[in-house]
Amino acid sequence: MSKRQSNREEIFTRILEAAEVEFGLKGYSGASLQHIADRANLPKPNIVYYFQSKANLYKQVLNQILMDWNDLFDQATIDDDPAVVLDAFIREKLALSFTNPRSSRIFAMEVIGGALHIGDYLKEDLVPWLTSRVEVIQGWIDAGKMRSIDPTSLIFMIWATTQHYADFEAQILALTNKEALVEEDLKRIGDTVSSIVLTGVGLTLPN
Amino acid sequence: MSKRQSNREEIFTRILEAAEVEFGLKGYSGASLQHIADRANLPKPNIVYYFQSKANLYKQVLNQILMDWNDLFDQATIDDDPAVVLDAFIREKLALSFTNPRSSRIFAMEVIGGALHIGDYLKEDLVPWLTSRVEVIQGWIDAGKMRSIDPTSLIFMIWATTQHYADFEAQILALTNKEALVEEDLKRIGDTVSSIVLTGVGLTLPN
DNA sequence: ACAGATATTGATTGTATGATAAGGATGTAA
DNA sequence: TTACATCCTTATCATACAATCAATATCTGT
């Protein structure tokens, strides 16, 4: 007669999910352990029992998000067709913003707040990633496959535009007078962004 | 012998400025009236005396920011050259992100948090603005001046890209290994973004 | 110079928070 | 069954906060 159907791991993820929702809604300071506990259907001290502190729980949530963010655009090499790669990158990143806006928002709030908790990750893990991606794009430019533009600014531009639909969802819904963004919007926006960016850097998709 | 050089208006703006800094650094929940008071060099109760409550002070700060945001891209008509207008819009918005990143960040955090305090402003003031701008761009498209793309997505794209440099400054500095963004960066990024967008929608700047 | 309005101050209040402590329940191994 | 470790829960802590208050100081119009 086990009132306790839940093992350690299940509770872990339950708390993490509740925390993600709460942090996503209220930000770090605004979120309270009590609310997270209520959401996870657990007494508050249990949260601390599993995660030691609020700051640590927050770090774990961020870590989870960064691990979930797939390595889109990661396997691309100089030999690939830049049009195909960039189009896929834009559409995948945009789709991720649509399906998982909460993750994007937590990350955004963290960075806007100065990236105090993930500054090290940015410098240690993301810098090499960006460097290697810039090299690939520069390779395409040198090979005459695309127009000469600043690769870093291009990557930031794609990041900014795609994440915008997750982070500023409230503004977009208010401005477009909608309840939610749907599959149709994803396609229209993906078409527009991909079209502008690809044309902008002198590329056309093969048929 | 007036120890008190400050009239009511001066104190008002002093509090508003201190609050903008504090909210920008810590977010709404993270900011405390005590810290705002310290920053404004006033006792805490005076903050409440002038602004009644923390929530109201925050609203006033947001209001101030929205009023400061000039009406860039506002006077453009169908008769103008879209290349000139869009280029100027991109560069001015980008410059604003560089000179006043704090305002942009407070606005961003507010929207990410669900735009609970400025939802009405978005619907009442920004919707008409967006509608009229979309009409102008659609007019350019209909007149064959530029490529046919979704005007709304284009505007969001420009917003996202330009604000990105203010909101995600911490990430950008970490990734580019810099201390601060300078005039030179503003030019390079402006060139890249303007070039990609203009080319992307089939425009070229006149000489 | 005076009186009424306005502004400033330090002290205080009640509440919500993150964190801890200590005992009880549960499962596991001998 | 017994012993032990893990897990959970109730009760409680000190702290920081927004907000209020009563008392004092300052200004302003007459």
Q: Calculate the angstrom distance between C1' of C16 and CA of A85.
A: 51
Over the stretch B149-170, which tens digit does the pLDDT of each residue have? 999 999 999 999 999 999 999 9
Residues of A within 8 A of B175 (CB-CB) are 122, 126-127, 130
Cα–Cα nearest to A6, from A50, A48, A45 = A50
Give the CATH number of domain B8-64; options: 3.20.20.70, 3.30.465.10, 3.40.190.10, 1.10.10.60.
Answer: 1.10.10.60
Query: How do the domains of chain B map onto residue ranges?
Result: 8-64, 69-200
Integer-rounded Cα radius of gyration of chain B = 20
pLDDT category, B29, cuts 50, 70, 90?
confident
User: Would you give per-residue pLDDT tens digits along chain A (207 residues)?
Assistant: 233 345 777 888 889 999 999 999 888 988 999 999 989 888 888 998 899 999 999 998 998 888 877 566 788 999 999 999 999 999 999 999 999 999 999 999 999 998 988 888 888 888 998 999 999 999 999 999 999 999 999 999 999 999 999 999 999 999 999 999 999 999 999 999 999 999 999 999 998
Comparing CA positions, the residue from A25, A16, A193 lying closest to residue A102 is A25
Under 8 Å between Cβ of A45 and A90: no
pLDDT at position A70 = 57
Provide the ipTM.
0.85
State the pLDDT at residue B179: 94
Based on the number of CB atoms within 10 Å of its own CB, is A161 exposed (0-12), middle (13-18) or buried (19 or more)? Answer: buried
Is the pLDDT reported for residue B7 higher than 80?
no
* pLDDT single digits (tens) B63-121: 888 887 756 678 899 999 999 999 999 999 999 999 999 999 999 999 999 888 888 88
Give the whole-angstrom CA distance, residue A202 versus residue A105.
Answer: 32
Any residues with CB less than 8 A from the CB of B122 and at least 6 apart, and which?
A171, A174, A175, B115
Q: Which fold has domain A69-200?
A: Tetracycline Repressor; domain 2 (1.10.357)
Token representation of residue B17: 């400025």
Taking the Cβ of residue B45 and every Cβ of chain A, the question of whether any pair is shorter than 8 Å is answered with no
Structure token digits, residue A42 = 């657990």
CA–CA separation, A16 and A22 (whole Å) = 10
Q: Quick one: pLDDT band at residue B8, thresholds 50, 70, 90?
A: confident
Protein CA at A4 to nucleotide C1' at D4, angstroms: 20
B31: CB within 7 A of chain D nucleic strand: yes
CA angle B155, B190, B201 (to 5 degrees): 45
CATH class of A8-66: mainly alpha
- Which pLDDT belongs to residue B71? 67
Closest CA to B188 of A89, A164, A148, A202: A148
And the tokens for A51?
A: 């995660």
CA distance A173 to A105: 15
CA dihedral (A48, A54, A56, A59) positive or negative: positive
Out of A108, A111, A175, the one facing B122 most closely (by C-beta) is A175
* Average pLDDT of every residue of chain B: 90
d(CA A201, CA A51): 47
Interhelix angle B151-167/B169-176, rounded to 10 degrees, is 70
CB contact residues (below 8 A), chain A span 171-200, against chain B? 171-172, 174-177, 188-189, 191-193, 195-200
pLDDT at B1 over 70: no
Biggest CA pair distance of chain B = 70
Does residue B185 register a pLDDT over 80? yes
Give the model's pLDDT for residue B67. Answer: 81
Q: How far apart are CA A74 and CA A79, in angstroms?
A: 14
pLDDT value at residue A2: 33
What is the DSSP secondary structure assignment for residue B181, as one 8-state letter? -
